[in-house]
Structure 1
Amino acid sequence: MVDMLVEDGVAQTSYVNSKRGGWVTFPFIIGVVIGTGIAAGGWLGNLVVFLIQEFSVGSIKATQIGNVLNGCVSLFPVVGAIIADSLSGCYLVIATSSCICVLGLSLFNLIVWLDSLRPQHCEKGSSMCPSPSKTQLSVLYLATVLATIGIGGTRFIIGTMGANQFNKTEDQEIFFNWYFFTMYFFVMLSGTAVVYIEDNMSWRWGFGICLVANAITLAIFLFGNRFYRHTEPQGSPFLDLGRVLVATIRKMKVPLSNRIEDYYCSHDGAATKMNGAPSKSFRFLNRAALITEGDITSDGLVARKWRLCTMQQVEDLKSLIRIFPVWSSNIFLSTPIGIIISLAVLQALTMDRHLGSHFKIPAGSFPVVVILSASFFIPFIDRFLCPTWHKLVGRPLTPIQRIGSGHVFNMLGITVSAIVEAKRLKIAHAHIHNSNHKNVGFIVPVSGLWLFPQLVLLGMGEAFHFPGNVSLYYKEFPSSLKGTATAMAALTIGIAFYLGTAIVDLVRRVTNWLPDDINYGRLDNVYWTVLVIGVLNFFYFLVCARLYNYQNFGKEDNSSTDDK
């Protein structure tokens, strides 16, 4: 995957102060990755527990809020990438986002230090817990929004800026190796160590560590500005794609031509002849490049940019349309992950999480198992499974085959989730039946380790489909969208979190499966429902995969690095 991400390197990027850059920038840039990872694991990873314990938010509503924020964290990198490419460059986006993150974490620290910013504490399961005031909710919402924007606007753009500091592909590969390792390591470290501190010492210590880490890494990043190589904004290719749609609509009544010379192609602003005929797929879009009276000046320049486009711009849009069905089938691929990892926190809160007599696993740390599993299986797939497949079959494992494998492991993970929850509920209902009174929020005598297999399977699925998606988009997207292609996987994940939130909300409205105390619900039925939808989506994916024809994959060197 690293080889793929840096395949084009920085050859197509315009630089300011090209003598800057190099490994001297690495400590300053990687510091932001560390700060972002600590924040993501420290406050966002344990937000569900924080809302339940400190703001008396219902458990299901807390998971919904967590899903929405995780979706935002995945969507903001796309917005940040567009702003960086079109307007400001990477440095300003990262610096601004990091400052916003520090502000958000500062508000979180105020919340845990000032009792007036939190409702009065009440016993777990009590029906008399006071609701937070409007002021308390306003400060909480502002803190979450600022911290979410800060993490989302920094996480992936820092990788692009880091790669831009190097000229050699080998150096870029080494940087990306350290970038991914650092990001995963500190998310896992914070999701375990900092979350443990929050659960067993205090929220003040946990949020304080997140704030200090982010403030220090931001200062280090800003201090290194004199060493950075900055890129000039190149303008957004999405604007060109929009022009194609507008030009096509404006020329809907113009008949298409079979003559190549009637279509516009540009080079350095001048009109040139096409190298080949326009493609026949989505032929109606060819009108956007059809030259009509008044479209070109006497100097060969475009007179009206929203009426005439180049054939390359038309073909770029066609490429996106061709890949859209496969992309859409991957939205629900990530949806079960968002649903299960958030509800797994609620399951963990009702289960025995002790390891030995002294150590208790924090409920907010259980989603880290997915990251650990994915981190282990990604190199296993890349370095062992893919080369072995290539030797046995004679051709590389394609991106779509990797995505399909991810579908299968996801469905296995959902199945195990439903089975484990059914067993947990059986024991919980037996406890309720044997009790003389209704015990709210009781701990079911079932080990929290029962949740590990389903989380490991989801991590295995992510190890297949996440690199597969990134590889597919990077190889099949137009060259003008290479910088945005790798962010499309994050966009899919963001939409999936929102879809998961909508599904859970619908289930709550039409069934009684998800009360705030899941011991009295039927969470297993929720998982079975998700599985049915997942199976239907898998068949839709198979149809899309069958109909899709690769445009670029296989035309290059079909070595073992094709799917990396």
Structure 2
Amino acid sequence: MERTVQNSADEQHPGSVSVSSSTKKGGWVTFPFMIATITGISLAFGGLVSNLIVYLIQEFNIKSIRAAKIYNVFNGFATILPVAFAIIADSFLGCYSVIWFSSLISSLGLLLIVLTAAFNKLRPPHCETGSNLCSDPSHVQLAVLYIGLALAALGMAGTRFTVGPMGAYQLDKPKHQTIFFNWYIFAMYISTAISSTVILYVEESVSWAWGFGICLAANIFGLAIFLAGSGLYRRLKPEGSPFVVLARVIVAAIKKRHMKLSLKPEDYCQGPDAADSKEDKDIIPSKFFRFLNRAALKAEGDIKADYSIRPWRLCKVQDVEDLKGLIKILPLWSTGFFLSTPLVMQTSLTVLQALVMDRHFGSTKVSIPAGSIWVSSLISTCITVFLLDRFLYPLWDKYTRRPIKPLQRVGIGHVIDIISMAALALVEAKRLKIVRQHHLQDQDNAIVPMSAFWLVVPFAIAGIGEAFFFPAQVAFYFQEFPTSLKSTSTAFVALYMGIAYYISNGVIDLVRRTTGWLPDDINKGRLDNVYWLVCILASINFCYFLVCASLYKYRDPEKDTDDISD
């Protein structure tokens, strides 16, 4: 599967690059362009999303719980769509076109949001937060806001998780690609941390228009840097969607559902066409999901006059095994829903907590934005990833001579994730105790004399958990997904994170319909019980994960040496 870049117009497929020509595209010269691109995009995304709930409440008079749900919808939209963009990039347009076009879309969305902040006519009249006299935004005002958010989410979904694989494809050796991914994640987290503090401070202390304007400028900066390196990039040629190939396996198996399976390898299609009968002649489809084996079983009418196969009637054995491998992964992938849900609820509901807590630095007049509390999670993740990569994992390998497997690291992340939610429930219980002691539940959205920095501890614990499971999830899916789906594998991590946002909304709706735990004024509710509920759900999910992980068998890495060798 090796190809050679012959000129600047040549393009290559992921995982098939082996180039010695000095005139080839790509290489480390593209590294600063890719890192600068993801930095600009992450600054824009972090500055918008981190303070979105506060903006909706304070500037659009939207009730707190509804604002949290809008926040979840926005994030869900931005993290589910990367899978669609990955498929489009692999199948039709290529990563380069998807990135620059998506950046234009997100810039347009951010421009609309800047306009809502700059012009009073695009917002309802200002009033005190929580007042019953506040006017609701008009249909036009909401339309401009929602269109801006939708375009921003759409564009950022097409860039944040597409820059990563394109940057990795510029490098030939897997160890160099690993280094790139480390810096890619580091740049994404650090940029988000900066935007969630500096830009949020500008939004709340200077003006929302200036804050969102900086987000727009950062997004345009990322796009400009990306386009500036256009002549250096190794661009990937779209070679058709692998999902079409997998769909053919299902269709072919259904068409041949009445055929009897054979134990002879020569009865199965081994190569890309019927004439290919020498290579891998001894391969027989595995017994797992034996029904699918019929897709590779040769039958009359499967071969055309020119000896090529009819793709919707006959498939390669490897295509059948790829689909089976994907099916094996799905149960484990589904455990990510409630692994991410606690983190999602933390980032939305804790903003509501911070808004009614003391956010001053000690006795000073300096107050931190409510949306900046979760930055402690980002910092904790970065520090923990560094310590794990440089010290803890190497020491473990040295003394046990057995590296920690990805699923083991994910399991550790599960446990720490549950602990962080329990810590958050305890902090909220303490806050509500102070509310009752001072009879603040009789006032609307009263500020509780308790430091918001108590929320830093649960977030720091959550960051440690994320350092375990997030890189491990990416490594696991990249290793275990079929070769044809390597580019899409990392987007599947974003997919279940996006679904978690909608699960979070479902949990919120269920709690509001059945209990009184989540009123718009959380001083009058029992948010701690909501956190305990999520702890229970996450614990059940962890047991489900243990069952799936214990039954899962890793792919044999020796079979993939062509894809991972230097």
Fold shared by both chains (TM-score > 0.5): yes
Aligned Cα RMSD in Å? 2.3
Equivalent runs, 1:548-559 vs 2, <5 Å: 548-552=552-556
Contact 2:13 2:236 in 1 (8 A): no
Larger CA deviation: 23-32 vs 418-427: 23-32
Equivalent residue runs for 1:95-106 within 5 Å: 95-106=100-111
| Alignment equivalent of 2:357, drawn from 315, 337, 351 | 351
Question: Which piece of structure 1 moves more, 88-97 or 246-255?
Answer: 246-255
Q: Per-residue displacement from partner, 1:418-476 (whole Å, max 9, x unpaired)?
A: 1111110111122227x8xx310111111111111111111111111111211211111
Cα–Cα, structure 1 residues 23 and 474, in superposed 2: closer, same or farther, change >3 Å? closer
Structure 2 counterpart of 1:477, from 478, 481, 486: 481
Q: Which amino acid aligns with 2:208?
A: W
Q: Are 1:64 and 2:64 counterparts?
A: no
* Counterpart pick for 1:214 among 212, 219, 225: 219
CA-CA distance at 1:232 after TM superposition: 0.8
Corresponding residue for 1:5?
none
The superposition leaves residues 218-276 of structure 1 with CA deviations (integer Å, 9 ceiling, x where unpaired) of 23322332332221112111111111111111111112122211111114673325332
- State the partner residue of 1:418: 425
Q: How much has 1:9 moved relative to structure 2?
A: 10
1:442/1:498 CA distance change after superposition, 3 Å:
same
How big is the shift at 1:13?
5.5
How many residues are aligned here?
547
Residue in structure 2 matched with residue 22 of structure 1 by the alignment = 27
State the distance in 1 between where 2:288 and 2:178 align.
Answer: 37
Matched, 1:510 2:514: yes
467, 472, 475: which one aligns with 1:463: 467
TM-score normalized with structure 2 length: 0.92
CA distance in 2, matches of 1:150, 1:455: 28
The corresponding residue for 1:229 is 234
2:460 alignment partner AA: V
Secondary structure of the residue aligned to 1:231 is coil
Moved more, 343-352 or 30-39: 30-39
1:126 aligns with 2:131: yes
Aligned equivalents of 1:98 and 1:387: distance in 2? 39
Q: Distance in 2 between matches of 1:555 and 1:379?
A: 31
How far does residue 174 in structure 1 lie from its aligned partner after superposition?
A: 4.4
The answer as to 2:43 corresponding to 1:38 is yes
Which residue matches 1:191? 196
Q: Residues 286-305 of structure 1 correspond to what in structure 2 (within 5 A)?
A: 286-302=293-309, 304-305=310-311
Give the corresponding residue for 1:3: none
Q: How does 1:12-411 map to 2 (within 5 A)?
A: 12=16, 19-169=24-174, 171-267=176-272, 270-272=275-277, 274-302=281-309, 304-356=310-362, 357-411=364-418
**CA distance change for structure 1 residues 75 and 60 in 2, over 3 Å: closer, same or farther?**
same
Q: Deviations over 1:383-406 (max 9, x none)?
A: 222222223333111111111101
Pair 172,138 (structure 1): closer, same or farther in 2 beyond 3 Å: same
User: Do the aligned partners of 2:14 and 2:236 also contact (CA within 8 Å) in 1?
Assistant: no
Letter of the structure 1 residue corresponding to residue 326 of structure 2: L
The Cα shift of 1:298 comes to: 4.1
**Aligned in 2, Cα 1:511/1:253: closer, same or farther, shift over 3 Å?**
same
**For the structure 1 residues 159 and 419, does the alpha-carbon distance in structure 2 shift closer, same or farther, using more than 3 Å as the test?**
same
Alpha-carbon offset, residue 185 of structure 1 = 1.5
User: Tell me, what secondary structure is at the counterpart of 2:437?
Assistant: helix
Identity of aligned residues (%): 52
Deviation, 1:554, is 8.7
Which of 479, 496, 499 lines up with 1:495 in the alignment?
Answer: 499
Shifted more, 266-275 versus 237-246: the winner is 266-275
Residues 554, 351 of structure 1: CA spacing in aligned structure 2 closer, same or farther, 3 A cutoff?
A: farther
- How far residue 555 of structure 1 moved from its aligned partner, in angstroms, is 8.0
Q: Which sections of structure 1, spanning at least 5 residues, go unmatched?
A: 1-7
Structure 1 residues 299 and 489 mapped into 2: Cα distance closer, same or farther (>3 Å)?
A: same
CA spacing shift, 1:101–1:543, aligned 2, 3 Å: same
CA 1:102/1:556 → structure 2, altered by over 3 Å: closer, same or farther? closer
Moved over 6 A (4+): 554-557
Q: Does the aligned pair in 1 maintain the 2:81–2:158 contact within 8 Å?
A: yes
Deviations 1:500-546 (A, max 9, x none): 11111111111111011100000011011111111111111111111
- Relative to the length of structure 1, the TM-score reads 0.92
Contact 1:89–1:232 (CA<8 Å) still a contact in 2?
yes
Which one is further off, 415-424 or 269-278?
Answer: 269-278
Matches of 1:401 and 1:349, distance apart in 2: 37
Counterpart code for 2:238: P
Which of 411, 418, 439 is the aligned partner of 2:443? 439
Cα deviation, residue 332, structure 1:
0.8
SS in 1 for 2:261: coil
Q: Are the counterparts in 2 of residues 13 and 231 from structure 1 also a CA contact under 8 Å?
A: no
